[in-house]
Amino acid sequence: MITRRMLGLSYLALCAAPALAQAAWPNRPIRFVIAFPAGGLSDRMGRMVAEGFATALGHTVIVDNRGGAGGTAGTRQALGAEPDGYTLSFTTPSTHITGPLLFPNPGYDGVSDVAAIGAFAQVGSIAVVHPSVPVSNIAELITYCRANPGRLNFGSAGAGGSIHLAGELFKMIAGVDIVHVPYRGGALMLQDLLAGRVHIAFDNTPQILPHIRAGGVRALAVTTRERSRFAPELPTMIEAGVPDFEISSWFGVTAPRGTPQPITERLGSIMRQIMQSPVMIENLTTLSAEPLPIIGAEFAQFMAGQRERFGGIIRRLGITAVD
């Protein structure tokens, strides 16, 4: 005879089963997809967080570099994985915000179809030229570009990223004709910039600052609204005479939509702890990056706001992934 007490115990057992299953996570390696080639800034940022996750969880976190299509190829593969907590996606504006807006068939939305875990860092960019370009400030660059329409190019780490949008925004506001050259990652673009095959770049501060100091490129201005503490001598683009110019990038982590909330909350909690560690703070400072501790629902709201902002810029400029 089944009593009320037995039914109650059965109900409690059913409720406890998912909790017990989730408590067992993780019990095998976690795959962390970075949708860019190894060696660039995104790869370095992603690996720092992957290492923090591995240490905190006591399990292997395998970094899976899958570059191509401005970060959309690897991101599509990551977000299409089983939402079981064993696949994470490194998140940037180009992978989750602008890429899905620029590419005709990205295969994912990037905001509504993810489980937001958290952001951890942000960086500005610096407008630079190869030393062969005979200019020393933004005003001279504008004059030179206007005198040589279509002869200069600007490189990016891939269509849709902050570096690409910065160049397009400069073209529009300054009224210059320069040609976009996209690469499969920042490291490849940097090689050609240093070699002089790329004339102009609006590269992320952590990647380009060492080459500025070494004389490999000439710095003209920063792309943030305020001057950078890592290069305080440089004016902002706005100060240099390009009104309403402000572009920066950020880095975070997401998972496929449907990933169990206890798992995403645990990962978010670990990210918060990572952000507070002296090692991470030192690493970010070394990379000329600022901390950006935005976790969980707040990160989801942040991403929605970024989509609205960058979407407005893309529509205003009328650009696509092939520009």
Assess if residue 19 is contained within a domain.
no
Cα 314–chain centre separation:
17
Beta-carbon contacts of residue 90 (< 8 Å; ≥ 6 apart): 32, 33, 34, 35, 36, 42, 45, 46, 49, 251, 252, 253
117 with 258, same domain?
yes
212 with 73, same domain?
no
Question: What pLDDT, on a 0 to 100 scale, did the predictor assign at position 36?
Answer: 87
- Give the CATH number for residue 258: 3.40.190.150
Omega into 26 within 30° of 0, i.e. cis?
Answer: yes
- Give the CATH number for residue 169: 3.40.190.10
Does 9 have pLDDT greater than 70? no
- Beta-bridge partners for 23: none
Mean pLDDT of all residues in 65-79: 89
Compute how many other C-beta atoms are within 10 angstroms of the C-beta atom of residue 151.
Answer: 12
Mean pLDDT of all residues in 233-237: 97
Assess if residue 184 is contained within a domain.
yes
Assess if residue 196 is contained within a domain.
yes
Mean pLDDT lowest for which of 17-21, 115-119, 124-128, 253-257?
A: 17-21
Domain boundary among 207, 222, 237: 222
Share of the chain above pLDDT 90, in %: 70
Mean pLDDT of the chain: 89
Q: What pLDDT digit, counting tens, does each position of 92-131 carry? A: 998 999 989 988 888 999 999 999 999 999 999 999 999 9
47 with 115, same domain?
yes
Determine the structural domain holding residue 253 and report its residue range. 27-122+249-317
Assess if residue 12 is contained within a domain.
no
The C-alpha atoms of residue 66 and residue 46 are separated, in whole angstroms, by 13
Compute how many other C-beta atoms are within 10 angstroms of the C-beta atom of residue 177.
Answer: 12
Does 30 have pLDDT greater than 80? yes
Considering its fold, how many domains does the chain have in total?
Answer: 2
Assess if residue 260 is contained within a domain.
yes
DSSP calls for 252-287? EEEEETT--HHHHHHHHHHHHHHHHSHHHHHHHHHT
> DSSP state, 29?
P
Does 13 have pLDDT greater than 60? no
159 with 183, same domain?
yes
106 with 130, same domain?
no
Question: What pLDDT, on a 0 to 100 scale, did the predictor assign at position 319?
Answer: 79
Mean pLDDT of all residues in 181-210: 92
Compute how many other C-beta atoms are within 10 angstroms of the C-beta atom of residue 302.
Answer: 17
Question: What pLDDT, on a 0 to 100 scale, did the predictor assign at position 23?
Answer: 54
Sign of the CA dihedral 200, 203, 209, 211?
A: negative
147 with 57, same domain?
no
184 with 130, same domain?
yes
Taking each helix axis from N to C end, the angle separating 205-213 and 186-195, rounded to the nearest 10 degrees, works out to 20
DSSP calls for 222-237? ESSSS--TTSTTSPBT
